[in-house]
Amino acid sequence: MRELTSAALLDAVRGWVEIESPTQDAAAVNRVADHVEEKLRRIGARIERRAGTGGFGDILLGHVAGDRDGPGILLLGHIDTVHPVGTLAGPLRFRVEGDRAYGPGIYDMKGGNAMALAALEHLHGMGRRPRLPVTFMMIPDEEAGSPSSRGAIEAEALRHRVVLVPEPSGDGGRLTIARHGIARWHLRTIGRPAHAGAYHAKGRSAIREMAHQILAIEALTDHARNFFVNIGTVAGGTHENMVPAECQAICYALVPTATEEMELRNALMALRPHDPDVRLEITQGISRPPFSKTPAIQALYDHAAALARDTGFAVAGERVAGGGSDGNFTGALGIPTLDGLGVVGDGPHTHEEHLLISCLVPRTTLMVRLFETLGEPGTLPVVDG
C-alpha cells in the first residue's frame, strides 16, 4: 500500500470485517488468520502459526525484519469477535453512512489491526523497513479472556522491548496508558435437598446461602475507588417444590490496582457459610491483571503524541481504561505498553458498532511513524538500545 488514503484503508478494513470470526468458532477465526497470514507473507514476514488449543483458533505471528536486529516491537491484537456468524448478513451489515463505517468487529478490533498491518505494508511498498523488528501477533480468544493464549502473549512480550496494542481508542481518540484489571470468581453452594412442603425443615437451601454470600460480596464495591464487584449470573435449584441442593454464581470485578485485586481475593477467601450445614466453594476464573502507567509508558505516550502533532493531528490525550485487553498481561509484566492505538468510533459488542473513516489516515500514519522511529537514539530512551 504505497499511498495511505481513506478509500484504500477502508477497503483493507472491510477485508478483515467481512470474514466473520466469533471466538467459539475456531474455523471462522482461522479464516481471518489465513487472510492475515497471506498479507504478511507478501511483505516478507516470517510466519509462525501455533495450532489452537482448548477449542479456540490458531495463534498467528508474523516476524517483520527491522533496520536493526535484536528485541523489537510486539504489535498485539485479537482476531475474534463477539458477533455470531450471520450478523454481517443481518443486523450489522457492512455499510457506510457519512463518516461512519459499520460492521461486526470493525471497532473492536479489526479496524485497528488492519491499520497496523497497512502501516507495515506501506513501509514495504515504499522500500523501507521499521527501525526495530516487529512481531505482528494475532490472538484467537481475547473476547473469552485469552485462556488459551495468555502464556504465549506473556512469553512473547518478554522477548520484546515495547508493546503496541491497536485496540480501539477511547473518549474520542485518547491513547490508553493503563488499564484496570478484571477478576472473575466462581461460587458454588451445596445444600441438602428436601420436599419443600412435607419435609421443608430437613432441607438446607443452597440458594438461600448464596443470597447471603451475594450481599456480602457486593458490599465490597467502592465506587469512589472504581472498585466494582458484581454478581452477574446466578443459577440454582431444580423445581419450585424442592429445597434447592445447589446454586452457582459468577463474580465479576473491576480492580483498578493490585491493591483492590488482593482485597477482593482476601475477602472471598475469608467467606464462610452462613448456614453451617451448607458447603461453600470458591474458585478463581479467568482474570486480567491491572497495569498502571510507569515512567516508561509515559515516555512512550509522549513520543506518540509528539509524532501525531508532527503529522498534523493531535491525539485527544491519555486515559485509564476500565475494559480489559491483552495489553493487561504485557503491561503487568512491566513491558512498556501503549494501548488504544486503534480506530476512533463507538458501539463495541452491539449492532451499532462503527468506526470513523476520518480517523483512518492520521492514525495509520501514526503507526507508520512509530514503526520508523521507536528505537532512535534520544527519541525514546526506554526502548533505545
CB-CB contact of 114 with 12 (8 Å): yes
What is the distance between the alpha carbons of residues 3 and 118, in angstroms, rounded to a whole number?
10
**Side-chain half-sphere exposure of 355, counting CA atoms within 13 A:** 32
C-alpha cell at 140: 484467537
CA–CA dist 290, 267 (Å, integer)? 18
User: What is the pLDDT at residue 322?
Assistant: 86
The pLDDT assigned to 141 comes to: 98
Rounded to the nearest 5°, which phi and psi values hold at 74?
Answer: -100, 115
H/E element holding 297? helix 295-310
The percent helix, strand, coil of the chain (3-state, each to 5) is 35, 25, 40
pLDDT for 379 equals 53
Given this model, what pLDDT does residue 381 score?
A: 47
* pLDDT in 10s for each residue of the chain, 385 residues: 889 999 999 999 999 999 999 999 999 999 999 999 999 999 999 999 999 999 999 999 999 999 999 999 999 999 999 999 999 999 999 999 999 999 999 999 999 999 999 999 999 999 999 999 999 999 999 999 999 999 999 999 999 999 999 999 989 999 999 999 999 999 999 999 999 999 999 999 999 999 999 999 999 999 999 999 999 999 999 999 999 999 999 999 999 999 999 999 999 999 999 999 999 999 999 999 999 999 999 999 999 999 999 999 989 999 999 889 999 999 999 999 999 999 999 999 999 999 999 999 999 999 999 999 999 865 554 444 4
Partners of 184 in the β-ladder: 252
- Domains belonging to the chain, first-starting first, are 6-179+290-373 (3.40.630.10), 181-284 (3.30.70.360)
- Per-residue pLDDT, 259: 95
Phi-psi region of 137 (alpha: psi -120 to 50; beta: other; left: phi over 0): beta
Helices 295-310 and 360-373 sit at what angle, rounded to 10 degrees?
120
Chain centroid to CA 248: how far?
26
- Rounded to 5 degrees, what are φ and ψ at 139? -105, 140
Nearest to 104 by CA among 153, 143, 74: 143
For residue 376, the model assigns a pLDDT of 80
Q: Is the sign of the CA dihedral 101, 107, 110, 116 positive or negative?
A: positive
CA–CA distance, 221 with 225 (Å, rounded to integer): 9
